[in-house]
Amino acid sequence: MAGLWNNFQGEERFVILTTAPNDTIINVHDRMPVLLADDEVMPWLYDTGMASAKLTALQPALEHIAV
């Protein structure tokens, strides 16, 4: 999941970034986390263009696994 972390006035803060839901989530909620594949982590951290595009890109479908 994509997120941001910062230390603000001695307090650690973290936020998970969300975007519009895809077809697998829309019936459950009106937002979903921005998902990052393993190979997208470093570009997410260092490539502003990739990060901006990822925030508005259609997220991959999620698979329901019964346990």
Alpha-carbon distances, residue 20 vs 6, 43, 46, 66 (angstroms): 24, 21, 24, 25
Range of the domain at 25: 3-56
The answer to the question of residue 67 being in a domain is: no
Residue 41 within a domain:
yes
pTM: 0.75
Q: What is the pLDDT of residues 14-64, one digit of tens each?
A: 999 999 999 988 999 999 999 999 999 999 999 999 988 988 888 888 887
Total domains present in the chain: 1
Beta bridge partners of 3: 16
Asked whether residue 64 is domain-assigned, the answer is: no
Evaluate whether residue 26 is within a structural domain.
Answer: yes
**Is residue 51 in a domain?**
yes
